[in-house]
Homo-oligomer: A and B are copies of this chain.
Amino acid sequence: MNAKKDNTEEKILEAAKNVFIKKGMEGARMQEIADEAKINKALLHYYFRSKEKLFNAIFNQIIKIAFPRIEQVIYTDVDFRTKVGVVIDSYLDLLIAHPYLPGFIMKEFNRDPSVILKLIAKYGFNIQPVLEVISEAMDRGEIIKMKPEHLVVNIVSMCVFPFAARPAISFVAFRDNKEALDSFFEERREVVKQFVIRAIEER
């Protein structure tokens, strides 16, 4: 009797993911998760003994996809502007697929930073190689000199922040016109690339 069990476990994880993302750990209700999974609370606790255990299962799952694997790109033998383009693409691909990530992670970070810091240490990329590749490009005169950390923070900021602020941007800049907002976000891919390239290219 396993087919049914597997299915239920998946249903619970899917439901919990939706509810936790929308409401956060504290805001989520076990009853709501049970309802969303179309089971009852007793069964929910039968599968995951506590809210904490269920949340951790979800959270690990989410964190694992939250850091795009940019190492491969970084070491490719192409010029720096191409690397920048690929990195921005991989961030935006991730964010378009999971637009809730910035908001969710920031919320949970605020609630208990230590949890996320541990997971960053466990799954998050090591920034050191990235900084080195940037420094080398600077030494070769491909891009202007600046503290590499600033370049990383600038790129990540321009990619991530608009998704966290999406509803505000929608309201303030586009009066909640959905089409205008969607094309704006589509445009950002090229806009951010060009913006960064222009800002750092040596000339």
Whether the pair B110, A192 counts as a contact (CB closer than 8 A) is no
**Which residues does chain B contribute within 8 Å of A106, judged by CB atoms?**
103, 106-107, 164-165
Q: With A120-B168, A200-B198 as given contacts, are A191 and B157 in contact (CB-CB < 8 Å)?
A: no
Whether the pair B149, A184 counts as a contact (CB closer than 8 A) is yes
A169 interface residue (CB < 8 Å to B): yes
Which one, A3-11, A86-94, A111-119, A133-141, is touching chain B?
A111-119
- A88 vs chain B, min Cβ distance (A): 12
A167 interface residue (CB < 8 Å to B): yes
Whether the pair B172, A124 counts as a contact (CB closer than 8 A) is yes
- Find the residue from A156, A161, A199, A200 having the highest chain B CB count within 10 A: A161
Whether the pair A120, B150 counts as a contact (CB closer than 8 A) is no
Q: With A161-B156, A195-B154 as given contacts, are A107 and B107 in contact (CB-CB < 8 Å)?
A: yes
Whether the pair B27, A150 counts as a contact (CB closer than 8 A) is no
**Which residues does chain B contribute within 8 Å of A24, judged by CB atoms?**
110
Contact with B along A167-203 (1 / 0, CB 8 A): 1110111000000000010011001100110111001
Q: With A106-B164, A160-B161, A173-B127 as given contacts, are A195 and B191 in contact (CB-CB < 8 Å)?
A: no
Chain A residues with a Cβ under 8 A of chain B: 24, 26-27, 103, 106-107, 109-111, 113, 116-117, 120, 124, 127, 144, 146-147, 149-150, 152-154, 156-158, 160-162, 164-165, 167-169, 171-173, 184, 187-188, 191-192, 195-196, 198-200, 203
